[in-house]
Amino acid sequence: MASTVRCSLATSGWSIADGDRAVLNGSVDAKPGKRYSAEVVVAYRRDDDTIDAAAYVEQIGEFETLAADQRVDLDSLWATSDVTIEGDPIAQQAVRFAILQLIWASASLAGYGVPARGLSGRTYEGHHFWDSDVFLLPFLAATHPEVARELIRYRSSMLPKARERAADLALDGALFPWRTITGDEASSFFEAGTAQFHIDADVIQGLRAYLEWNVDDETLWNLGVELAVETARMWASLGFWDKGSFHFHGVTGPDEYTVLVNDNAYTNQMARMNLRFAAEVVARMGSERPAEWESLARALNIIDGEIQAWTRIAGAIVVLRDDELGVTAQDATFLSLEPWDWSTPRHKYPLLLHYHPLVLYRRRMLKQADVVMGHFLLPEDTPLAQRRADFDYYDPITTGDSSLSPAIQSAVAAQVGRNEAAWRHFQHAATLDLMNLAKSTPSGIHLAGAAGVWLAVTRGFVGLKVDESGVTTDPNLPEGWTSVTLNLKLRGEPVRVRVERE
């Protein structure tokens, strides 16, 4: 990253910093009673960009010209991205702030992913995780599909290294890295990193979100089918059969305070989706593009019975349930762990900064939504009454130590009719960076949290769903919100969805 800066105010000297910092040093001989103004322009250039940043800055027009150009660009962006909340100006500001952060972070993606903090800070050193697939991609799919498509293309470009990663772990197919920039695994803590095998299904969930909003067979055939096949192969080789059921042992779900467990509910649910999706798209490609499928099947060395095996495995994957408590078990042992001491003072949170991991792993509490996260992404898999019971059980024992969690908890609470919790979690998610609740906003915007705010409004309070027939809503608006209007893009066309309290 290179940067340069220009200042209109006459100074005695100024300098251009290197790297990602632009620093201007100078002074002016100020006169008493005289007013001075400075117009500062900063330009950043990626290392592979052919534009010369210094020359570019010198060519940029005055502020009024820049502001007018930006207004044109922003009007175009808001036309397919805006969320209008009537009756709550504070929520309105928070949601638009979140949307603008998402747009800025994903403005130029060709060949790149979206770091966890975007371009707003150095935290995570530019690495990205499942955030872009599960949180950011649904927003882009429904507002800026051309950008969402670039994220899918970026994941597809990682397949060669993902195959190498799978082979390193004695697995078939491809295993995407938990933390990466170039496709190599950059997570040094495997228990809460590489062991989150659900990353493969998260990639497929992002693809599914894109296809829900967009008719794009070319992306599906050219990129999606290979992604689906190679991730399905990973799941088929990761698990094993026992007494007629299929299990995944030694995995970590979204809850990073509970690691290396057996039959994590989120992982199993997402693996089942991944396997079924792969079988479905392969069957469809074989029917609609038989010649192309035959060529791809040869290239991927598909063997007899392999695809049928995915369907059998999906049907046998276990999602455990505790009949006594009436809840979905987060994993095979979670419900038997020693409860966390909830009298622990607030200054000891986030817990990972004050306790050894081995202390946390032995306790029954969560860093972030896990079972509830599965219900958010795949609500059709679980009856409403079960989702409500699971929310009621897991919400009180979720610490909120992850910025990813409150928006998802809000959305599911709204879906299952827990309105007080929905509003409480939404307020936390919406003000996390605006009010610096985690004391880390100067280190960068929590992009997954920003995307979560949009998801909480659209999927939670508005109850937005999209399928082959179009868009439906099931609104459950907070007190004080008289209406919500969404600007979206469906099948390439702008769509406006408005719901009111009644």
Q: What CATH number is given to the structural domain containing 480?
A: 1.50.10.10
Q: Give strand ranges (E) for 335-383.
A: 338-339, 363-364
What the block records as the tokens of 84 is: 């209008």
Q: What values do phi and psi take at 156, rounded to 5?
A: -60, -35
pLDDT tens-place string over residues 131-156: 999 999 999 999 999 999 999 999 99
Q: For position 13, what pLDDT does the model report?
A: 52
Instruction: Note if 256 is an active site residue.
Output: yes
pLDDT tens-place string over residues 339-374: 999 999 999 999 999 999 999 999 999 999 999 999
Residue 386, pLDDT > 80, answer: yes
Count of Cβ atoms closer than 10 Å to residue 37 Cβ: 7
**Of 39, 256, 380, 468, catalytic:** 256
Same domain, 29 and 117: no
Domain range spanning residue 21?
Answer: 1-60
Query: CB under 8 Å to 474, separation ≥6 — which residues?
Result: 463, 465
Strand partners, 496: 487
CA separation for the pair 49, 30 (Å, rounded): 39
Q: Is residue 501 part of a domain?
A: no
CA angle 251, 255, 257 (to 5 degrees): 90
Helix 290-300 × helix 265-288 angle, to 10° = 130
Domain boundary among 43, 60, 77: 60
- Write the Ramachandran bin of 33: left for phi over 0, alpha for psi from -120 to 50, otherwise beta: left
Question: 88 or 182, which is more confident?
Answer: 88
CA separation for the pair 294, 250 (Å, rounded): 36
- Residue whose entry in the numeric block shows the structure tokens 């593009």: 289
Q: Are 449 and 139 in contact (CB under 8 A)?
A: no
Q: Is residue 296 part of a domain?
A: yes
What the block records as the tokens of 395 is: 């919400």
Q: For position 108, what pLDDT does the model report?
A: 72
Same domain, 109 and 52: no
Side-chain half-sphere CA neighbours of 142 within 13 A:
30
Q: Is residue 92 part of a domain?
A: yes
Same domain, 304 and 443: yes
Helix 419-431 × helix 447-455 angle, to 10° = 140
Residue 403, pLDDT > 60, answer: yes
Question: 121 or 428, which is more confident?
Answer: 428
The residue type of 148 is A
Q: For position 65, what pLDDT does the model report?
A: 84
Q: Is residue 284 part of a domain?
A: yes
The residue type of 14 is W
Same domain, 222 and 345: yes
Q: What values do phi and psi take at 466, rounded to 5?
A: -135, 135
Q: Is residue 224 part of a domain?
A: yes
> Which of 141, 110, 123, 286 has its CA nearest to residue 205?
141
Average pLDDT, integer, range 66-82: 90
Strands 363-364 and 470-472 come out as unpaired
Measured between alpha carbons, how far is residue 413 from residues 202, 388, 426 in Å? 22, 8, 10
Same domain, 312 and 446: yes
Domain boundary among 60, 82, 97: 60
* C-alpha 295, offset from chain centre: 33
Same domain, 150 and 213: yes
Name the burial class of residue 224, with classes exposed (0-12), middle (13-18) and buried (19+) by CB atoms within 10 angstroms of its CB: buried
Instruction: Using the Cα atoms of residue 325, residue 327, residue 333 and residue 334 in order, give the sign of their dihedral.
Output: negative
Q: For position 14, what pLDDT does the model report?
A: 52
Same domain, 39 and 154: no
Average pLDDT, integer, range 96-103: 94
Task: Give the confidence band of 439 by pLDDT, cuts at 50, 70, 90.
Answer: confident
Question: 446 or 167, which is more confident?
Answer: 167
pLDDT averaged over every residue in the chain = 92
Q: Is residue 210 part of a domain?
A: yes
CA separation for the pair 111, 141 (Å, rounded): 17
Q: What element of type H or E holds 247?
A: strand 245-247
Q: For position 3, what pLDDT does the model report?
A: 64
Alpha helices in 362-484 (DSSP H): 371-377, 384-394, 405-416, 419-431, 447-455
Q: Is residue 477 part of a domain?
A: yes
What's the start-to-end Cα distance of the chain, in Å? 51
Question: 47 or 476, which is more confident?
Answer: 476
Identify the three-state secondary structure at position 248: coil
Same domain, 49 and 137: no
Same domain, 402 and 324: yes
Q: Which of the residue ranges 56-65, 249-258, 304-313, 314-323 would you say has the lowest mean pLDDT?
A: 56-65
Strands 470-472 and 465-467 come out as antiparallel
**For the CA atoms of 26, 32, 34, 37, what is the dihedral angle to 10 degrees?**
30
CA separation for the pair 19, 478 (Å, rounded): 45
Measured between alpha carbons, how far is residue 226 from residues 145, 148, 217, 369 in Å? 20, 18, 13, 30
Q: Is residue 399 part of a domain?
A: yes
Question: 102 or 53, which is more confident?
Answer: 102
Q: For position 120, what pLDDT does the model report?
A: 81
Q: How many structural domains comprise the chain? A: 2
Task: Give the confidence band of 502 by pLDDT, cuts at 50, 70, 90.
Answer: confident
Q: For position 16, what pLDDT does the model report?
A: 55
What the block records as the tokens of 198 is: 């659900």
Same domain, 289 and 171: yes
pTM: 0.92
* % of the chain with per-residue pLDDT over 70: 94
The residue type of 19 is G
Domain boundary among 60, 80, 101: 60
CA separation for the pair 15, 25 (Å, rounded): 6
Q: For position 78, what pLDDT does the model report?
A: 92
Q: Are 174 and 166 in contact (CB under 8 A)?
A: yes
Same domain, 31 and 87: no
Residue 15, pLDDT > 60, answer: no
Q: What element of type H or E holds 149?
A: helix 145-157
Same domain, 34 and 133: no
The residue type of 453 is V
Q: Are 425 and 109 in contact (CB under 8 A)?
A: no
Identify the three-state secondary structure at position 25: coil
Residue 432, pLDDT > 80, answer: yes
Average pLDDT, integer, range 265-288: 98
